[in-house]
Amino acid sequence: MSAGGIHTSDPTTGAAPDTLPATRWIEGTPSLHRITSDISRPMEAKPGRGWWICFALASAAVLNLLGMVGYLFAKGIGIWGLNNAVGWAFDITNFVFWIGIGHAGTLISAILLLFRQKWRTSINRSAEAMTIFAVMCAGLFPLIHMGRPWDAFFIFPYFPNQRGPLWVNFRSPLVWDVFAISTYFTISLVFWYLGMIPDLATLRDRAVGGIKKFVFRILSLGWNGSQRTWSRYEIVSLVLAALATPLVLSVHSIVSTDFATSLVPGWHTTIFPPYFVAGAIYSGFGMVLTLLIITRQTMHLERYITVNHLEAMAKVTLLTGSLVGYAYATEFFNAWYSGNVHERFHFINRATGPYAWCFYLMVLCNVLTPQVLWWKRARRSVPLLFVVSILVNVGMWFERFVIIVVGLHRNFLPSAWGMFYPTVFDIGILVGVFGLFFSLFLLFIRALPMIAMWEVKGVSNG
Amino acid sequence: MSRRPTCDEAMPRGDGHDAPLVQIGLPTGARSTGFEATRRDVLSLMGFSLGAIGLGAGCRAPVQHAVPLPSASTEMVPGVPNLYATTCGGCGASCGLVVKQRDGRPIKIEGNEASPLTGGGTCAAGQASVLSLYDDARLRGPVWLGNAVSWSEIDRHITTMLGGGGSDRRAIVLLSPTINSPSTRAVLADFRTRFPGFRHVVHDPMSLAALREANRLAFGAAVVPHFHFDRARVVVALEADFLGTWLAPVEFSRQWARRRTADGTRGFHVQCEAGLSVTGSNADLRLAVAPSELGTVAVALLAAVARRVNDAGLAALNATGLGQTAPHAAAIDRVADALARHRGESLVVTGSDDVATQLVVGKLNALLGNIGGADGPIDLARPSLQAQGDDAGVPALIDDMNRGAVSALIIWGANPVYDHPDGLAFRKALGRVPLTISFADRRDETSAHVHALCPDHHFLESWGDAEPVSGHFSLAQPLIAPLHDTRAGAESLLAWAAPAAGAAGAGKPADHRLYLRDFWRRALYPRAATAAGFDDFWERTLERGVVELPGPAVQTHAFAGDWQGAVRDIVTRASRAGTDHGGYELALHETVGARDGRHANNPWLLELPDPITRLTWGNVASIAPATAAALGVATGDVVTLTTETGKLELPAFVQPGQDRRTISVAVGYGRWAAGKAGDGIGANVYPLARVENGVRRYAARVNVAKAGRRARLAPAQTHFSMEGRDIVQSLTLASLEHEHEHEHEELPNLWRERLHGAHAWGMSIDLDACTGCSACVVACQSENNVPVVGAEQVRKSRIMHWLRIDRYFDGDGEDATTVHQPMMCQHCQHAPCETVCPVLATTTSSEGINQQVYNRCIGTRYCANNCPYKVRRFNWHNYTANDDFPYNMTSPLGRLVLNPDVTVRSRGVMEKCNLCVQRVQLGKNQALLQRRPLADGDVATACQQACPTGAIVFGDLADAGSRVSKLLAGRRAYRVLDDLGTRPNVGYLKKIELKEKA
Amino acid sequence: MAERFLVGSFSEPGPMLAAVATLRSAGVAIHDVFAPYPVHGLDQAMGIRRSRLPFVTLLAGLGGLCFALVFQYYTAVFDWPLDVGGKPENSTLAFVPVCFELTVLIGGLGTVGAFLLRARLFPGKPEQLPVLGVTNNVFAVVTHAPAGGNEGPLARRIMLENGADEVDEREGES
């Protein structure tokens, strides 16, 4: 095809001529039809045993979650291990953890789109799906951690406001959270759906009729691949990407203000926004790696989710992991440099107190583990990447736990010091939410194209 | 309304006894033949139904003859509290009270400011005693041989068995703790005339018999003198917890606080004790002394003082050279200096159970000229009547019972089976007595084994009087007609004494109120030098609650005790102790919560953190850190304590300040028949004490061994060190002189000051006056409907108290110093909690109160996380209608104690101190009604009102002239965690270090 | 009225692009091109000018921003001013996050809404496929071919020359 003015004007693939050949991101050169049928296979074939086992486990966890949340609503927050000293623990830890997970999806689909990274094409769809599901899991916790969840609607400035002129407190980071998370969820959902419309049309046209065709016809909004629509479509994708990029940065920055705007030692620090964003992307990529490594095996999509993809993600993991490690060091330096007795005590307590083991586990997983990714062979070894990705997830969960609980359990007045010990309900709900996340994802890969066909086609034909 | 019906008309008389007339009985609406309901009827109906909800059948409102204060209104207006003066029945001290009554039920105990003794203070137990009124474990009526019967029937049984009187010489014995009620003493006299064999045995679980005995030997009067700590520049207390539990702690705290001035006249307080007591924790100089060394220390002190006042008669004593061998020799010399400097205005007091030691101390006081005189620190002429326990009584009684010399035993308020070392023997002996009667309000350890249960009223239901200190009288009037079918003890005695007295209407009980009134007319009114007629005198006294009627002085002579003998005795014992210096010593003590155990079923007291250990729900064996290390024992390890008289397992508690050789254990726990809340809490240590030549000993040799188990304590505070943070600040008198040190610079305000309304409420807490006695904690709980959550929740650090008293130790040796700091919401003007609440459920009111809006709160707990003082309390569970929490809030009877002015919080909302906003509102309304501006002092918070030392001052910071403004502008004022810029409206006054004196 | 179209199907994007370029230079009016994915350079070849949807984004975003500012200011300062931690009623800095979020939210939704309207995409709309497989692997060029005009034959020739698999004539509503 003739280059020239075309590249400059075409956003999706306007990479410099020296870009690696697109085929690097696909094994071989499958025909367009082959791509369609390969990617549609998981949705048309019967699920394998592997899928069923995973789904059974996941949905069992979901049942457990339902039961425990029901009991929680009946009995009250008292069934958790929280107390006067430690008002937040597993609940908010999980919340921050899942919000963080979501970030990789948006990053891959939006930021890499802006940066014209072709390798995003075959992973962005599932990454975005992961974002949606992660945000759903995260959103659960602000609700159930409330003392009176049935009054949760108080937190929205709804209209008409029957409570006279009593609105919400826009100075509270929790209200910022409400807006940030709902915006984030909405935009991600729209972005995800919009990106799926052409593929839905493809599926519609593959479907041999019946309910499937009907549903896809509704969902595909009558898409027919008209170039006039395509050209607007790409502009809109670009606009959404441009909006989602600052959004994704803002979301975890705002979540971090839940802590940064307070005066709790270990929370009250200005590096939290960037530190949390880096951590979020880090944990997000960890989760994407975990999911894709599993699905590419079970769904036989090695051709589209290549080792090159994994290596690229491994590089991002290494980068963000190192950023996080740097942030840990900075916190300690600041505490020492501030000379503030409470700050200093907090960090000494973090490293030597009763929760020190959590701290060292976190350092091991988040700072030391990713360092193996300096070696190319490590980056390209699927089993090793899998282990790393799991460790990263564990480490990032503990990072939030350390920040929240160690910050609270011993601060200003020694008379009010306490300890947090999780109960069976804390742990059960933690497990249950993982179940929820995985069941949603497992359903997704059966019901919807987990790889953006039209984008892969675009890449495959350069 | 034309006339109000009386209860007698309103409802069928349940039994023989006289139901009192009511001032508002059943609302006329309820029986409205020939009535047209007026607005007033509706109001009273509303008010009545409020009261009636829990009262159930017993609709009876307070008796007409009770005189509320102010006397203006004798009416019960729904929703408007009435205040009645009465006398506390919580312990022997008989403090004057003013009880708040709402809609016909007493809901809050307050101190009677008219009382010259207490001046308005109360103690934790007194504050909590209102809850005991609504105790589910109380008997509902008389019981004969295990069957509920009517009063007339039980009277028939008892009168027949008491026999024809006159001829019968066998003993009828009344066993009771100290009775300081003159009218009751008159009743007993009457009873004695009816039954010549009648005898009264006084048994105080923690008695001062040794002191009385020593005074008999020394001054010829077996009395407990009236101490005036405020008249003493130097106070030396040997094992006397006079600020916490000893004799009359409320009165003594007040006196003691008067000497805590921030200038040169400040008192110097030395405490020598084994276990750390509330008093010791407040001493300027504290010396850890094992019980066996206490006598030695007294002798050494006597010797040292003798040298300074070079009293020839004491030369021999110096020869013994004890001053050198005694522990803390150097410190004792300094103390002797101080004592010698302040002869006639110093006070040495000891609660020792050793007569010899008491004698030596008596000699010491005599030598220092502290005894007698119009303003002497020790008043023997007008002694205290608060502790008349006779330790020899119970053992003798047990013998008599076993010999069958006792025909009838009446137990009134005593519980020897539980709280006497020979309790078991006593229970066995009970079986040998033909007729045993108990006035106990419940089926307790002792009354479970008697024939007749004739339950007495709760003191808030009954008439009565008291003479805590001779010449000081206090009246008691009922706040509510009896909830159950109970009868005043005195009335029972009168009923049984009556028949053969040939009085008209035999069999009909004499009305106690009339008897009391008559007694006062005969015996006390004449002593009142007043022109007023008796009726005025009576009314005025009832209204005021207290009156001073100087009586004849007790005749005593100068010190004539055999102090040399006492010294010799002590020295020989000390030397013997020196030879077989083996195991440890056990020291029994009272705590401000449990006291002697009579309040054991009171959940407020069970959950009250001990000011020293900060433990709730149980007692422990306090062990010095060094000793614990030697024994390899850690806090929570169960240890076995073995004495000659018993054996006991208790969790150990490593206690800074504890004497190395002594294991201290609190009495008052380990009851097995107190009631649902109190049974099986802690262990009963009374059996480990013993009676030794007529005096109960509260110390014994003990062997300590690890039991190899661990117990789960329920601490309200787990960390004892301040970690070098200046949370509790102090300064020395010297530095107080230098102005410049006290310019504390105001942090800049990031925002423009917000304008307040008419007031800016604030509070000042004097850390130098606060003793940690915890009366305020219970007062707050009572005023604000703070739920009891139980040991398990306390373990999870979910205790709900809005006001807590933090306690920090400096060091952990025997010389560890202690500070107490009441901590509640600081009402920050830049409140961190408010900014983070998403739903505006907590904001600063226009009057500077940080307020919590329960029905807006959704329970994110962000505010609590962001509160640097950690004073916010979250309702983790539903504490009000929940079987998991079987305390007063979940019992229909127990709910009657709830304050209608304060919301009972639901599950899942945050709560905290709101500076008793309901009291503020009441004060403002009253000022409004009287068309006057609110004056400083019109409003007192519950904690302030309860405080015996006046450490807490509440007021308007917007008024520069108010006390609180002045205090917080003073040089000692500071704010906790000031550097956070939270700008609290609650400030503290720095503690004063007097260490340089020592 | 029914209109007549020529539909040329290609299996490769390259020839299709060339065909479109030649058609346009030959002055044949191209109705539309249908492709399974956006083919680079086709816009220029067809002469589609850049969409103006970003302006919608700008306007919607500004709308969201203003709404957020006004709403927060109104609730915090006018409707019920409260003393929250001693902070000023108009705590502008604290209002920034919500302003940003609403800008993004309303900006994004506005853009997508405008796009769906402009492209006439809505649930249940019947898809109009020139040939089957344009959503899979076929590229279809559709030109106007009025009856009796010479565009028809011309276009057919150009497309076949450029390697169209087949070219056939259709009638349909434009």
pLDDT in tens, A85-119: 999 999 999 999 999 998 888 888 888 788 777 77
Choose among C109, C125, C132: nearest Cβ to A205: C132
C31 plus C59 within the same structural domain: no
Q: Measuring CA to CA, which residue among B599, B587, B636 is closest to residue B615?
A: B636
**Cβ-based neighbours of B291, under 8 Å, separated by 6 or more:** B239, B274, B352, B585, B587, B662, B698, B699
* Per-residue confidence (pLDDT) for residue B165, from 0 to 100: 52
Q: B255 near B984, Cβ under 8 Å?
A: no
Choose among A76, A88, A412: nearest Cβ to B977: A412
* Per-residue confidence (pLDDT) for residue B734, from 0 to 100: 79
Choose among B752, B835, B846: nearest Cβ to C85: B835
Q: Give the integer Cα–Cα distance in Å for B195 and B172.
A: 8
Q: Give the integer Cα–Cα distance in Å for B129 and B694.
A: 32
Strand partners, A308: none
Residue C123 counted as domain residue:
no
What are the chain A neighbours of B747 within 8 Å (beta carbons)?
A: none
Residue C44 counted as domain residue:
no
What are the chain C neighbours of B844 within 8 Å (beta carbons)?
A: 83-86
What are the chain C neighbours of A187 within 8 Å (beta carbons)?
A: 104-105, 108
What are the chain C neighbours of A31 within 8 Å (beta carbons)?
A: 137
The domain tally of chain C equals 2
C126 reaches A (C-beta below 8 A): yes
The alpha carbon of residue A10 is apart from the nearest alpha carbon of chain C, in Å, by: 6
Q: Give the integer Cα–Cα distance in Å for A19 and C16.
A: 24
Cβ–Cβ contacts within 10 Å for residue C166, how many? 11
Strand partners, B842: B852
Q: Measuring CA to CA, which residue among C88, A84, A418 is closest to residue B867?
A: A84
Q: Measuring CA to CA, which residue among C88, A80, A203, A185 is closest to residue B749?
A: C88
Residue B23 confidence (pLDDT) above 80: no
Cβ–Cβ contacts within 10 Å for residue A434, how many? 18
Residue B70 confidence (pLDDT) above 80: no
Residue C140 counted as domain residue:
yes
* CA-to-CA dists, residue A412 to A340, B725, B873, angstroms: 11, 9, 17
Strand partners, B585: B662, B701
What CATH number does residue C139 fall under?
A: 3.30.70.120
Mean pLDDT of all residues in chain B? 86
* CA-to-CA dists, residue B904 to B273, B854, B860, B907, angstroms: 43, 10, 19, 10
Choose among B837, B858, B865: nearest Cβ to A152: B858
* Per-residue confidence (pLDDT) for residue A458, from 0 to 100: 82
**Most confidently modeled of A388-392, B55-59, C122-126, C160-164?**
A388-392
Name chain A's partners: 3 or more CB pairs within 8 A: B, C
Q: Measuring CA to CA, which residue among B836, B618, B793 is closest to residue B711?
A: B618
C57 plus C30 within the same structural domain: no
The alpha carbon of residue A339 is apart from the nearest alpha carbon of chain B, in Å, by: 13
pLDDT band with cut points at 50, 70 and 90 for residue B9: very low
CA dihedral A293, A294, A296, A302 (to 10 degrees): 50
C113 plus C139 within the same structural domain: no
C76 plus C29 within the same structural domain: no
C108 plus C140 within the same structural domain: no
**Range B168-188 average pLDDT:** 89
C140 plus C109 within the same structural domain: no
- Give me Rg for the CA atoms of chain B: 28
**Range B641-669 average pLDDT:** 93
Degrees (nearest 5) of the Cα angle B420, B425, B427?
85
What are phi and psi for residue A358, nearest 5 degrees? Answer: -65, -40
pLDDT band with cut points at 50, 70 and 90 for residue B340: very high
* Per-residue confidence (pLDDT) for residue B168, from 0 to 100: 58
B342 reaches A (C-beta below 8 A): no
**Coil vs helix vs strand at B840:** coil
CB pairs under 8 A between B and C: 34
Please answer yes or no on whether C34 and A167 come within 8 Å at the CB atom: no
pLDDT in tens, B244-264: 999 999 999 999 999 998 887
Quick one: what percent of chain B has pLDDT higher than 90?
Answer: 69
Mutation target among B867, B873, B906, B913 for the A interface, most CBs of A within 10 A = B867
Angle between helical axes of A90-106 and A227-260 (0-180°, round to 10): 150
C139 plus C168 within the same structural domain: yes
Choose among A6, A176, A230: nearest Cβ to C35: A230
Residue C125 counted as domain residue:
no
Name chain C's partners: 3 or more CB pairs within 8 A: A, B
CA dihedral C145, C149, C152, C154 (to 10 degrees): -140
Strand partners, B269: B235
Residue B806 confidence (pLDDT) above 80: yes
C60 plus C23 within the same structural domain: no
| Range with the poorest average pLDDT among A83-87, B19-23, B318-322, B497-501 | B19-23
* Per-residue confidence (pLDDT) for residue B693, from 0 to 100: 77
Taking CA–CA distances from C91, the nearest residue in chain B reads B751
Helix/strand/coil (H, E, C) string of B788-827? CCCHHHHHCCCCCCCCEEEEEEECCCCCCEEEEEEECCCC
B641 reaches A (C-beta below 8 A): no
Residue C45 counted as domain residue:
no
Strand ranges in B514-558 using DSSP code E only, listed in sequence order: 546-548
Q: Please give the domain boundaries of chain B with CATH numbers for all domains.
A: 2-133 (2.20.25.90), 143-206+390-548 (3.40.50.740), 233-362 (3.40.50), 583-715 (2.40.40.20), 730-736+757-993 (3.30.70.20)
Q: Give the integer Cα–Cα distance in Å for B591 and C152.
A: 109
Quick one: what percent of chain B has pLDDT higher than 70?
Answer: 87
**Range B330-339 average pLDDT:** 92
The alpha carbon of residue B861 is apart from the nearest alpha carbon of chain A, in Å, by: 6
Distance of CA B221 to the CA centre of its chain: 28
pLDDT band with cut points at 50, 70 and 90 for residue B72: very low
C77 plus C114 within the same structural domain: yes
Q: Give the integer Cα–Cα distance in Å for A126 and A291.
A: 9
ipTM: 0.91
- Show the domain range for C106: 53-118
The alpha carbon of residue B724 is apart from the nearest alpha carbon of chain C, in Å, by: 29
Residue C47 counted as domain residue:
no
Q: B853 near B837, Cβ under 8 Å?
A: no
Q: Please give the domain boundaries of chain A with CATH numbers for all domains.
A: 32-460 (1.20.1630.10)
C151 plus C108 within the same structural domain: no
pLDDT band with cut points at 50, 70 and 90 for residue A64: very high
Residue B468 confidence (pLDDT) above 60: yes
C137 plus C111 within the same structural domain: no
| A 22-41 residues with CB < 8 A to C | 31-33, 36
Residue C14 counted as domain residue:
yes
Q: Is B735 exposed, middle or buried (0-12, 13-18, 19+ CB in 10 A)?
A: middle
C9 reaches A (C-beta below 8 A): no
Length of chain C (residues): 174
| Range with the poorest average pLDDT among A176-180, B40-44, B101-105, C101-105 | B40-44
Degrees (nearest 5) of the Cα angle B154, B156, B157?
65
Please answer yes or no on whether B834 and C88 come within 8 Å at the CB atom: no
Cβ–Cβ contacts within 10 Å for residue C71, how many? 19
**Range B150-170 average pLDDT:** 80
C103 plus C141 within the same structural domain: no
Residue C25 counted as domain residue:
yes
